[in-house]
Every structure is written in structure tokens, then in C-alpha cells.
Amino acid sequence: MHKLPIVILISGRGSNMQAILEQAAQGELGVDIRAVISNRPDAEGLQTAAAAGITTAIVDHRDYADREQYDQALRVAIDSYQPALVVLAGFMRILTPAFVQHYQGRLINIHPSLLPAFRGLNTHQRALDAGVSEHGASVHYVTEELDGGPVVAQFRVPVLDDDTAASLGARVLKIEHHLYPTVIGWIATGRLRYRNGMAYLDDQPLLTPVSVSDSRSEHIQ
């Protein structure tokens, strides 16, 4: 079976990366993880990947004078593994337009909010401050606009009366570990494609994100 070659970028412990690795190892996800790359030498996820037999690499942002030089070096490192998809899994860097354009349609990210709500950081506290009844996570194609590319799928969780940013964040992170591999699986099987700035699922334009509430969703196989 053909497996989709991917490279995963992380900055920390890489819990979403670990979820992808586990599903791939169990044969539930048709991907060939060519490498895990981090901008931080001390990223805990590098040890997790290495222990799983995955190639790791470090491109330390502190070694470069500016974002443009860093992103150029990162692009060279990624392209040496010839991925069909680049997966951002807690990669805490704002990417330059040139980098994003190079990987247009091949670069995805998971964001801890129901986009377009709460782009950027501190999403869980901001959701609580706003008094919303639902929160969650979104997987989207990356464009030059921060957290602004086409949203493919979302997983919603209720906001509870006694939630703190920590408790809400923990619940969202748990569902991220289901949502992200699900979307990557759609790409690996050819169900999800990116054309002319839009996402298509089963050859139909995704005008609204797929709601992935649980394993019973009609879109999950």
C-alpha cells in the first residue's frame, strides 16, 4: 500500500505528533513519517520520535539572523526528506510568506479553537473570558494569514461551568489527538485535496468545516 510521506514539525513535547506516530505504527494511518524536525534542541518530542525509530533533526531558530534565513534553512531540511505533506504539530513559529507559498496545499496545522474564533495564543482563557458555550479544535491548511487558511474539520467540546483554562485545554488536547490523525488519513487516502485555495473532500468543496464529534461521524472511516 502506498503511504503518504510526511514530515512533522514540533517545538515541544509533541503530543499530537505522538498520536500520529501511534496510529501509523498500528497500521491505522497510511503515512510514512520521514522525519520529525524541531526548532528547539530540547524539545521533548524529539526523544519520543527517536524512541519510535523516527529520524529527527534540529534547525535551531537561534542560529539565524532573521525569520527569512531561518525559514530558508528549514525548507532545505524539510525538502531533503521529500514529503508530500508537512504537518505542524505544536510548531511555535510564525512562518514567512515565502515558506508558506512553497508548501501551499501541502502544509496543515491544528489550532486549539473553533476557527475563525480565537486565532493566535491563549485560546482557552480567551474562550472562557468570552463566555462561549462551545470550544474545540480546528485543522486547517496554512496560508499567509495567521490561522486563516481553509478550515477542514473541527471537533467541538462543551465549556463547563467550572472550567479553568487548564481543564478546558486538557479536554481540547485530548480531542486533538483524534481529530488530527483523522484529517491526515483523509489526505493519505486521497479523499481530501487542496485546489485553487479551497479544500475538497470527496471531490466536493468544503464550504463549511466537517464536524468531527466522535467516531460515528459519517466522514470517518
> pLDDT by residue (tens digit) across 86-115?
999 999 999 999 999 999 999 999 999 999
Can you tell me the mean pLDDT for 43-52?
98
Cα distance between residue 47 and residue 34, in whole Å: 16
Cα distance between residue 111 and residue 146, in whole Å: 11
> Is residue 142 domain-resident?
no
Q: Which of 61, 102, 111, 177 is catalytic?
A: 111
> Is residue 144 domain-resident?
no
> Is residue 145 domain-resident?
no
CATH number of the domain at 5, please. Answer: 3.40.50.170
- Supply the pLDDT for residue 146: 82
116 and 91 in a common domain: no
| Nearest alpha-carbon partner for 201 in 211, 210, 190, 192 | 192
pLDDT tens readout for residues 190-202: 999 999 999 999 9
> Is residue 40 domain-resident?
yes
Quick check: is 61 catalytic? Answer: no
96 and 77 in a common domain: yes
72 and 126 in a common domain: no
84 and 126 in a common domain: no
pLDDT tens readout for residues 21-39: 999 999 999 999 999 999 9
Domain count for the chain: 2
Q: Which domain holds residue 40?
A: 1-103
Cα distance between residue 191 and residue 169, in whole Å: 30
